[in-house]
Amino acid sequence: MQRFIAKRALQSLLAIWVMSLIVFTLVRVTGNPLDVMLPLEAGPEDYARVSKHWGLDQPVYVQYAIFLGKAVQGDFGNSWKWHGHSAMGLVWQRLPATLQLAGFALLVSVVIALPVGVLSAVMKGTVWDTVAKVIALLGQSLPAFWLGIVLMWIFAVNLGWFPTSGRGGIQYMILPAITLGWFQVAAIMRLVRSSMLEVLDSEFVKLSRIKGLAEWKVVWKHCLRNAAIAPLTFFAIIAGVLMTGSVVTESVFSWPGTGLLVVDAVRARDFQVVQAVVIVFAGIFILTNLLVDILYAYLDPRIRYQ
Amino acid sequence: MSRRIGDVILEVDDLHTYCFTSYGVVKAVDGVSFSLRQGETLGIVGESGSGKTMTALSLLRLAPRPTARIVKGSIRLGGEELLTKSEREMRAIRGRRISMILQDPQTSLNPVFTIGNQLIEAIKIHHPDGHRSLVRRAIDGLKQVRVAAPERRVADYPHQISGGMKQRVVGAIAISCEPRVLIADEPTTSLDVTIQAQYLRLLREIQQATNLGLIFITHDFGIVAKMCDRVMVMYAGRAVETGSVRDIFNRPSHPYTQALLNSVPSMDDDIARLYSIAGQPPTLWDLPEGCRFAPRCPHADDRCRHEYPRAFSVGEGHTADCWRLEKEWTPRPFSASTG
Ligand SMILES: Nc1ncnc2c1ncn2[C@@H]1O[C@H](COP(=O)(O)OP(=O)(O)OP(=O)(O)O)[C@@H](O)[C@H]1O
Ligand code: SF4
Ligand SMILES: [Mg+2]
């Protein structure tokens, strides 16, 4: 188990390094940040001066070496847009809001999707199952920005039940969390349903019925744990979807998280901040994957004892 | 201890279990009657798809829902009718009074729980008790099926033990609450010959020790000869011939039984002879009108093709459904045959 974790940790570091290379290159293809930073009337000497100040006159590989050298110490440079703030400082400042929203969205979606998925498998072919299928279909075909705007229009603007934007008590979280979690509800539900159906058909389920075990115990003890193994892989993906989803959702609801931050940073060509956000997102994504692998091993003894 | 064949413990009468599918009604079990005595072993033989497993699951009222339903018949266990029992009453009967070993031992154990956990669960349903005494009973149960070092095995997961061992554990679970009737559904097909022989011996020992009624489902007439007292031959959802092992082997009366016996490789021959039966069993949602075996039967005539044969008694406790027997034998007085 220790070796397994050590190996996975090493792979994770490698993945983050590759990620840094990609994001470093990508932000530089989007255009010259000085075009945004400097006023329109700025002349070539202004360009040269600011370029030198930020180290943008160096060859790209030197820039990358400097970036990497500082990044391993957690220093992603200073923001160009938000003067006086370090890029990492901004990310840390905004991250709790994003994690709060994503965590809440995940919680809500699991709490809804798991029982619905299990029940629609158990009651396969009934009205209940059909209703669940329709919800799943809607969930996977509605784009998040559209859903966000519609929810806001109905429940915040017209009915006035929830605030339209910003961060505050739980009432501020409901609409963004539904927007962010909706897709997950549908996906988790479908996965749970299909793996549940498979498990319900297995011989060990028949044996537990032959023993005289009550049906609810057959479902929730014998099936669920087996059925949870397959969808678990998906949780690693969900971590990614939630983070990319936060960009859209936070923009719609002006939720002051890293998603909103990165949108503003991209508009301002604030490389430093974009790089910091992407690396932190990648880090979170990889960490979630690692946790999922460990959870896997916990749920499935066949992996634990390899 | 020696085996003693006692009173009738299980009586099945005119059992019909149908599967209601989108392509039609599959008559998986279509009028099967038999009885089982304590200490007796009844073999059920027949080709794949003839309804053996469905018959067995019906006895536990566990035919796969919602597709399969018992539509008609009677199942009496120790004189009590099972078909009118509530689901809760059935749960108290399953495992405790009638139990079953499934076809595939490799997948009969839940991969995410230890063997001890699954065995203890079975005992606890019918004998709630403190954890320590349950563990002790579980270990005793494993000893009974000859699992070595049972104290250590209880903490193992199914993937950590061999196929033969899994089979024993499944056996231990099935008999953990001392059922009076045990159904073994082709318990040895996935095992190699030596382990198979050991397992059969073990089943016999368990039967001798507890005097339970055993229903043994198999394809293999060799095993029938070794294990069983009586045999029921199934074809397309019907029991076409029933009799003592000796009668069935010496005087097979239904052409299907004769064909099956002919297809058994004989041990005495240098070259194993294997006649396979020509043709396919009928599809169960589109059965022929008359005798179900007629399309494959060498003796089929016009009447066979239009009228299902009655059951004829061809000897003491030996009956077969075939028109050819009409000339020589009188019909069984309480014929249960339908079209
Ligand atoms: N869930 C189901 N839905 C529809 N038909 C079914 C279902 N389960 C079984 N059947 C049908 O019922 C018939 C009897 O099946 P059963 O499993 O009892 O056969 P069997 O004699 O045990 O065969 P085998 O030797 O292969 O185990 C088969 O023809 C099968 O197609
Ligand atoms: S009834 Fe006719 S077709 Fe059926 S087994 Fe007998 S002889 Fe063959
Ligand atoms: Mg079968």
- Using pLDDT thresholds of 50, 70 and 90, give the confidence band for residue B173: very high
Ligand 2, residues at Cβ distance < 6 Å: B 254-255, 291, 293-294, 297, 299-300, 304, 309, 322-324
Q: Which of A210, A229, A301 sits opposite B94 (nearest CB)?
A: A210
State how far the Cα of A236 lies from the Cα of A138, in Å rounded to an integer. 23
Give the mean model confidence (pLDDT) for residues B14-42. 92
Using a pLDDT cut of 70, give the percent of chain B over it: 90
Distance from residue B278's CA to the centre of ligand 3 (Å)? 21
The ligand that comes nearest to the alpha carbon of residue B337 is: 2
pLDDT for the residue B275: 47
Residues with CB under 5 A from ligand 3 (ion): B 53
Query: pLDDT digit string (tens) for A13-37?
Result: 888 888 888 888 887 777 777 777 7
Chain-chain contact of A210 with B100 (C-beta, under 8 angstroms)? yes
> What integer is the mean pLDDT of B173-191?
85
B159/A213 CB distance under 8 A: no
- Residue at A140: amino acid letter: Q
Q: For residue B102, give the nearest of A203, A215, A299 by CB distance.
A: A203
The residue whose two tokens read 């060498």 is B298
Per-residue pLDDT of chain A (306 residues; tens, 9 = 90+): 677 778 878 888 888 888 888 888 887 777 777 777 777 777 788 888 877 877 777 888 888 888 888 888 888 888 877 878 888 888 888 898 898 888 888 888 888 888 888 989 988 888 888 888 887 787 777 787 888 888 888 888 888 888 888 787 788 888 888 888 888 888 888 888 888 998 998 999 999 999 999 999 999 888 988 888 877 777 778 877 888 888 888 888 888 889 889 888 888 888 888 888 888 888 888 888 888 887 877 788 777 665
Both tokens assigned to B38: 């304590």
Listed in sequence order, the residues at least 6 apart from B227 whose beta carbon sits closer than 8 Å to its beta carbon are B41, B43, B200, B203, B204, B214, B216
Give the H/E segment covering residue A102.
Answer: helix A87-122
Angstroms from A297 CA to nearest CA on chain B: 11
A90: exposed, middle or buried (C-beta count within 10 Å: 0-12, 13-18, 19+)? Answer: buried
Predicted confidence at residue A157, as pLDDT, reads 84
pLDDT in tens, B51-89: 999 999 999 999 988 889 999 999 999 999 999 999 999
Per-residue CA distances from A191 to A102, A230, B202 (Å): 20, 8, 42
Q: Domain for residue A12, yes or no?
A: no
**Phi then psi for B272, rounded to 5 degrees?**
-65, 125
Average pLDDT over residues B83-106: 91
pLDDT at A204: 93
Residue range B297-306: average pLDDT?
Answer: 88
* C-alpha–C-alpha distance, residues A184 and A177, integer Å: 11
pLDDT at B334: 47
CA nearest ligand 1 atom 25, residue? B48
Is A40 contained in some domain? no
Question: At CB < 8 Å, which residues of chain A contact B?
Answer: 125, 202-204, 206-215, 222, 225-226, 229, 299-302, 305
Residues 6+ apart with CB under 8 A from A204: A222, B107, B108, B109, B110, B111
Q: Could you say which residues from 90 to 109 on chain B have a Cβ atom under 8 Å away from some Cβ of chain A?
A: 91-96, 99-100, 102-104, 107-109
User: Which residues in chain B have Cβ-Cβ distances shorter than 8 Å to A225?
Assistant: 112
Give pLDDT, residue B265: 58
Q: Give yes or no for residue B274 having a pLDDT over 60.
A: no
* Residue B333 confidence (pLDDT) above 60: no
What's the DSSP call for residue B278? S
**DSSP letter string, A254-285:** T--SHHHHHHHHHHTT-HHHHHHHHHHHHHHH
DSSP symbol at B307: S
A305–B173 C-beta distance less than 8 A: no
Q: State chain B's mean pLDDT as an integer.
A: 86
Q: Do B110 and A204 touch (CB under 8 A)?
A: yes
Q: In CATH, what number is assigned to the domain containing residue A100?
A: 1.10.3720.10
Q: Where in the sequence is the domain holding A182, given as residue range(s)?
A: 87-305
Task: List B residues 29-58 in contact with A (Cβ-Cβ < 8 A).
Answer: 57
- Closest atom of ligand 1 relative to the B21 alpha carbon: 4
Q: Please tell me the distance from the alpha carbon of residue A268 to that of residue A271, in angstroms, as a whole number.
A: 9
Residue holding tokens 């793996």? A195
Centroid of ligand 3 to alpha carbon of B35 (angstroms):
20
The tokens of A299 are what? Answer: 């749920």
Distances (CA, A) of A153 to A148, A157, A158, A170, B165: 9, 5, 6, 19, 64
B248 or A229: whose pLDDT is higher?
A: B248
Residues B259-280 have a mean pLDDT of 60
For residue A290, give both structure tokens: 């690692």
Determine the 3-state secondary structure of B36 from DSSP: strand
**pLDDT class of B190 with cuts at 50, 70, 90:** low
Q: Which ipTM score applies to this complex? A: 0.86
Strand B318-321 and strand B311-315: the pairing is antiparallel
pLDDT exceeds cutoff 90 at B96: yes
pLDDT of residue A211: 94
B112 closest CB neighbour out of A207, A212, A300:
A300
- State the Cα–Cα distance between residues A277 and B98, nearest whole angstrom: 63
Is A150 within the bounds of a domain? yes
| CB pairs < 8 Å spanning A and B | 76
Cβ neighbours of A125 in B, within 8 Å: 66
Number of neighbours of residue B36 by Cβ within 10 angstroms:
24
The answer, yes or no, to whether residue B156 has pLDDT greater than 90, is yes
Residues of A within 8 A of B122 (CB-CB) are: 211-212
Q: pTM score, two decimals?
A: 0.79
Burial class for B13, CB neighbours closer than 10 Å (0-12, 13-18, 19+): middle
In chain A, the number of structural domains is 1
B16's enclosing H/E stretch is: strand B8-21
